[in-house]
Amino acid sequence: MNSVVVFVVFSWFGVVGRSSAVEVREKESGAKRSSQCPRITSKEKRAISKIECHKSIHKRVVHREESLHPINMFPTASLILILTLVHLLDAATPGAEFSYSGENGPDHWPGVCNSGQYQSPIDIPKHGHEKAHMEPFVFENYDYTAKGVRLENKPNTVKLEFLANEHEVESTGQVHDLDHSMHVSQGGLDHKFQLAQIHFHWGNTDNEGSEHLLNQVAYPMEMHVVHFNTKYGGHLLDALAEGRGANDTLAVLGFFFKLTNKDNEKLKPIVDGLQFIHEFSSETELKVFPVSDILSEDLSRFYRYTGSLTTPGCNEVVIWTIFEEPIEISERQLRQFRDVSQLHQRMQNNFRPVRPLHKRTVLYVDTSASSMASMSFPLTLISVALALLIAKK
């Protein structure tokens, strides 16, 4: 998962505000509509304005929660809370304070990162998972060519954001009209989940890089397609605040990459853009492409489990889907990712080591019709046997 330190903020909101059902109702009554950030057209001002806008959202959320929570009785505590939130939001931009090695490495990530029982990534067991059948995923608007695609050099990853078709606003939050936003449903998901962003994890050698392992084997890269549950709001941050730590707040689709000899032409827009974001905190506009192009061709078989963000604060709010079929990438294309820089070093090995499964179940899901037929075969036999018994009588 991406380095979104603001998630810490919302997990805090989850704790601080969990006791207040009143504020949930207040937000559902439409208060969240006022927390949308305006569309930002100037590329130069976009990053700054977006941060300022999100700061103001946070301040409004803080204000609403303050008025309803006992902490309101302690103005000093409230002030500290606000200042800390602003500090964390600032920290969410350049130079997020975590890394994948050393004193800020995974062994030192705080809180639930180390104490949680539902942490990600995991080693997906070859045996010991349960088979299941679900309806196939329904991807809506993923074949649209977005108005624009932005590739960003973020702390510890590179991230793709999409400007939605027609509305010229970001799919990361400003499109509340599900008819026009990219969203996914079915596939065992109870609601519609809207696309927020896509990012990558990779290694500096070919035998490491993916966050999830498959039977103890790593792939050289893994892509995370991050969605938020629209039942909690029309924006990633709204959903995290409103979800209050619910384990269905986000749905992340994970894709492994495997090396091939020739370039994967469908990755060309992204790979071509990487050379323009070698510098830390840089960004570039990409040649537009439909998101459906860069997903695995076979989306019918996947692993499903409940887990967490894979960066601090490691909030346990994610329905994970890891597709079985990897995406192809050439050595040359993968090298473009490895050449991206971060402050004084190259951005490599940006993956979290696997965490214990504990008591969780991993489902192996096959959504194909043939799977349904094979799973229902024993039931059919029982039905026939019962019918014969009844007929004999």
Site residues for Zn ion per CB under 5 A: 1, 224
Please count the other Cβ atoms lying within 10 Å of the Cβ belonging to residue 247.
15
Closest approach, Cβ 210 to Zn ion, in A, equals 10
In the structure encoding, which two tokens stand for residue 321, read together? 């889907």
| Residue 157 vs 300, nearer CB to Zn ion | 157
Q: What is the largest CA-CA distance in the chain?
A: 82
Residue number, 1 or 362, with CB nearest to Zn ion: 1
Report the DSSP beta bridge partners of residue 331.
none
317 within 8 A of 247, measured Cβ to Cβ: yes
CB of 310 to Zn ion, least distance (A): 5
Which residues have C-beta within 8 Å of that of residue 205, sequence separation ≥ 6? 220
Minimum CB–partner distance for residue 211 and Zn ion (Å): 6
Q: Is the Cβ of residue 64 or residue 224 nearer to Zn ion in the bound state? A: 224
Residue 246 to residue 319: CA distance in whole angstroms: 10
Strand partners, 82: none
User: Among residues 1 and 354, whose Cβ is nearest to Zn ion?
Assistant: 1
346 contacts 335 by C-beta, under 8 angstroms: no
- For the record, the structure tokens of 239 come out as 């959903």
Residue placing its CB nearer to Zn ion in the complex, 35 or 153 = 153
* Dihedral class, residue 281 (left if φ above 0, else alpha if ψ from -120 to 50, else beta): left
For residues 267 and 329, the answer to whether their CB atoms sit within 8 Å is yes
Shortest reach from residue 30's CB to Zn ion, in Å: 32
| Token digits of residue 387 | 């019918």
Nearer to Zn ion, 23 or 316 (CB): 316
In the structure encoding, which two tokens stand for residue 361, read together? 């179940």
Q: How far is the CB of 157 from Zn ion (least distance, A)?
A: 7
Smallest separation, CB 351 to Zn ion (Å): 8
